[in-house]
Structure 1
């Protein structure tokens, strides 16, 4: 089912290599008994796949390498319903994320950016009615260029946490972070609209540092939290673009994030967006 929302996701595309282990190792420690899986990932690709599966008309703008991993990542996005014509083929290898997930769904992630550093906007145009969602696994120069070029709704998932140029903070219609990222980027206190996730304690929306909405989290015992934040970001962007009131948009995004933690994949299947709307 397609909903009335067009979304361009500009961001990272990674091959995820995940070790599922009983507990995360401490510094210098080796933990055995793991299970290894390979799957599509990257914050940008995760958000695009989630948005498309929720029913938004979604295209992905990014870069992969001329390698088997890149072809598999593009194939996975197409299977999710994402338009992939704006994915460039770079000289660098496809980006890779090395992930460890413990028995409680907590994770540690190391990212090798690879082709993501070569993502760009050559030949790309944005429509006035097209929302654009980006993250910080691509170059800050590209994020800043988006702030100047996007004519419509512009959302930034400020992860991983990095200082944001003033022109990005001033331009963004929505900035999405978790509570750790919120504490590490003090300039977000001045942002127009910021969504902050608090894990099992729900999520909030802040306008210029003042809370304007809050939604409780749905109780879940997570299998993996790797793709939950990306699913939340996609769903919240869709909800606000559909002109849902802030609290209802947050509730829907929390419900989508809760569905994501019950799947080990970073790009899980979802029901249509309407299924996550509370009465």
Structure 2
């Protein structure tokens, strides 16, 4: 099988996680719970997902010249990720995410971007040949928007398929949208992009069509336990969610995107790739943490055989 190379451009963070009974409201202090640190960052999570599921991945990122940055780079190499373009920043520390996870597995996240905010187009000049030779480019929005636009425009000009996970939610320019082959918003992000309130599958279908109408070639609106809504060439499909008991939803979207890129790089159809990605994300939410929750390919095959889903129009 001819597997196409995947380049991930994005963030690297160290996640500091507290598991507690509920997410505190402003002014509230919640006692109890457990604490642990786990490597994270949307870009890093997606790169690790690609590697663990058997993809050929290069990761472009920027970390601080500190203990978190060195630890992250070492972990990437251990995962089999090409880290030649994981850059070190002498000015800013590595990114940090403060995450609270409640008993239902829902989370609240605050990110201090650190070195991620210093990944600019000039830093990528030496990596352009790697991007041009890739089959797929995968990005998120935890790095400067100028960098996202620059890389997407360059990749599109070279015929590389661009996958954008528009998280955290942000406004996207028409020029950027026209460069994107696949966009993968969750319901909140789809709502922001489309202007349509997304509460169920029917409203997600309307939002997906609206985003498709903005110039994006393919749209996937991820709806958590409700499944995923695809708009491919104007046609709507629904991929039902796999039924699992969620423990922690942190990084589920990142796992979905990394798995989607892997499936497409292996030649799966778009609906098949979304179904594959949905299964990988379902496995991840049954575990705590970001990268600690990401399944390996052999494990994915064993677990996903117990999960059933179908594709509906």
Alpha-carbon distance in structure 2 between the residues aligned to 1:94 and 1:129:
27
CA contact (8 A) 2:6 2:265 kept: no
Where does structure 1 lack aligned partners over 5 or more consecutive residues? none
Within 2, Cα distance between the matches of 1:83 and 1:240? 20
Taking the aligned partners of 1:130 and 1:93, their CA distance within structure 2 comes to: 32
Bigger mean CA deviation after superposition, 147-156 or 121-130: 121-130
> How is 1:1-279 mapped onto 2 (pairs within 5 angstroms)?
4-90=3-89, 91-119=91-119, 120-125=123-128, 126-150=131-155, 151=158, 152-186=160-194, 188-189=211-212, 190=214, 191-207=216-232, 210-267=234-291, 268-272=293-297, 275=301, 276=304
Contact residue 47 and residue 81 of structure 2 kept, 8 A: yes
Query: Is residue 64–residue 94 contact of structure 1 (8 Å, CA) maintained in 2?
Result: yes
Count of paired positions: 277
Task: State the Cα distance separating 1:3 from its structure 2 match.
Answer: 7.5
2:140, 2:165 within 8 Å by CA — same for their partners in 1? yes
Please tell me whether the aligned partners of residues 204 and 250 of structure 1 are also in contact (alpha carbons under 8 angstroms).
no
Structure 2 unaligned regions, length at least 5 = 195-209
The structure richer in strand per residue is 1
Q: TM-score under structure 1 normalisation?
A: 0.93
Q: Is the 8 A contact 2:54 2:262 kept in 1?
A: no
Asked whether the equivalents of residues 204 and 211 of structure 1 are also in contact (C-alpha less than 8 Å), the reply is no
Greater share of helix: 2
Matched residue, 2:203: none
The residue aligned with 2:199 is: none
Q: Distance between the aligned counterparts of 1:226 and 1:219, measured in 2?
A: 17
- Map Cα deviations across residues 15-64 of structure 1 (whole Å, 9 max, x no partner): 10011101111121111102111110000000000000000011110100
